[in-house]
Every structure is written in C-alpha cells, then in structure tokens.
Amino acid sequence: MTYRYFDGRPPSLAAILQRKDSFQCSLWCEADLVKVFDAPAQLSMSERLALFSLALGRRPERALEIGSFRGGSAQLLVHAMDLNNFGRLTMIEPHPQFPPGLWDSLAHRATLVQKTSPEAFDVIEGHFDFVFIDAVHTRENVRADLSAVAGRLIPNSIVLLHDVLHPAVRAGISEVLSEHADLINCGCLCRNPSWDDAGLRWAGLGMLRKVA
C-alpha cells in the first residue's frame, strides 16, 4: 500500500517559508516524507512516524536493530540519519528478505550481521544509544534479546520495541525490567492494536530508557 502525503495536499507555501530556517533538513518536502510512508515495514502509520521522528530528533551515533527482515524499519532509521548527516546502524537478521535495491540504499550507513540474536552479539563490539527490537515474538526470545541489549546501552539511551501489545512480548519485557533497575519503562507510544485470527493483540510501539 502506498500512503499519500497529506492526502495528496502539500503544505502551504507560508508554512514552508516560515519553517525553512528552523531545520537542518527540509521535512516539508514530499521527497523526505515519502520514504517514511512507502518503506516496506510492518508498521502502522503512527509507528512509522514515531520511529522516524525519534531517530531524527535524538540523532543516535550508534543504533542497533534486531529483526530487520524486509528492511523497512532500517530504511526509516537510515533515512533519519541521512537527513541528520550523522550516525551508523547495525542490523541483526539471520534471513533477510530485502526487496531489490533496498540494501544499496542502506549500505553506506548500515552493517548487516546475518546471525540469530543474542548469538550475534558475539561478533558485535561496542555500545549503542538507540535500539529497535522487532524479532521473534515469544517471551523467551524477547527476554533474551532485551537482556543482551541491556548490557550494551550507554546512559540515557532508548530501546524501542514493536508489538508490545502482544502478551508474550509484554511478558518478556516485564521479566527483564524486574532484573534491571537502570531500565525505565516509558510506556507504549503507539496504542493502535491489530488482532490475529486467534484473537491475540499485536502492534504497539513501546519505549524503555536507560538511566545514567
């Protein structure tokens, strides 16, 4: 599905002129926003905008993504970094299924580790200030991924997790939070749920923060 920019209406000229000196990049250009709407990510509109806006606003130096799959969320993160002209992304995905040409648009800022998590951390060095987790949605896997990430965060870094409305994902997060007093639950930023055929809730973008 292709999302239309402001229902096909560009922002007014007055808005562009008023804001053109306020940003290092021009987010009032359709070309800057169309990548957010069209990225091959299994994210709702609110989740796309939240992920992109946080990456743009926080200007991460070293970001990490666990669960890249088709590369859509990585495209959002790299696009924000390109607009900031700053940052690198490490992607963990054992079986990537990127559309043709997508990796070419990421390779200048991204490194792909084709291993499962948390085993991938055996070959990844250093710490991160921005993390996005959207991998295997079981309590055990969420717990393992988040536990591995917890030891690689710098103070005041953030962790975003997709599908936090899913019971298994919530359970894995809760277990890790009970063991790490330096991780603060900032709640669910996007609360637009979807349901599968079994009646389980999915979606939801949650955020954690590591205190200093």
In whole angstroms, what is the distance from residue 76 CA to residue 121 CA?
23
pLDDT at 193: 87
Q: Within this chain, do residues 93 and 18 fall inside the same structural domain, yes or no?
A: no
Q: Within this chain, do residues 50 and 149 fall inside the same structural domain, yes or no?
A: yes
pLDDT at 14: 55
Residues of the chain under the 70 pLDDT cut: 1-30
Number of domains in the chain: 2
Is residue 89 in a domain?
yes
pLDDT at 28: 55
In whole angstroms, what is the distance from residue 37 CA to residue 122 CA?
34
Is residue 130 in a domain?
yes
Is residue 114 in a domain?
yes
Q: Within this chain, do residues 9 and 91 fall inside the same structural domain, yes or no?
A: no
* Contact residues for 161 (Cβ-Cβ < 8 A; gap 6+): 132, 133, 134, 142, 146, 169, 173, 205, 206, 207, 208
Is residue 33 in a domain?
no
Is residue 34 in a domain?
no
Q: Within this chain, do residues 4 and 92 fall inside the same structural domain, yes or no?
A: no
Q: Within this chain, do residues 61 and 163 fall inside the same structural domain, yes or no?
A: yes
Q: Within this chain, do residues 75 and 135 fall inside the same structural domain, yes or no?
A: yes
Q: Within this chain, do residues 16 and 110 fall inside the same structural domain, yes or no?
A: no
Q: Within this chain, do residues 56 and 21 fall inside the same structural domain, yes or no?
A: no
Q: Within this chain, do residues 89 and 122 fall inside the same structural domain, yes or no?
A: yes
pTM for this prediction? 0.87
Q: Within this chain, do residues 197 and 138 fall inside the same structural domain, yes or no?
A: yes
Q: Within this chain, do residues 68 and 166 fall inside the same structural domain, yes or no?
A: yes
Is residue 105 in a domain?
yes
Sign of CA dihedral 136, 140, 164, 154: negative
Q: Within this chain, do residues 21 and 115 fall inside the same structural domain, yes or no?
A: no
Is residue 141 in a domain?
yes
Residue 16's domain spans which residues? 1-28
Query: What are the tens digits of pLDDT across the range 143-188?
Result: 999 999 999 999 999 999 999 999 999 999 999 999 999 999 999 9
The count of C-alpha atoms lying within 13 angstroms of the C-alpha of 98, restricted to the half-sphere facing its C-beta, is 20
CATH number of 167's domain: 3.40.50.150
Burial of 182: CB neighbours in 10 Å, binned 0-12, 13-18, 19+: exposed
pLDDT at 32: 78
In whole angstroms, what is the distance from residue 22 CA to residue 24 CA?
7
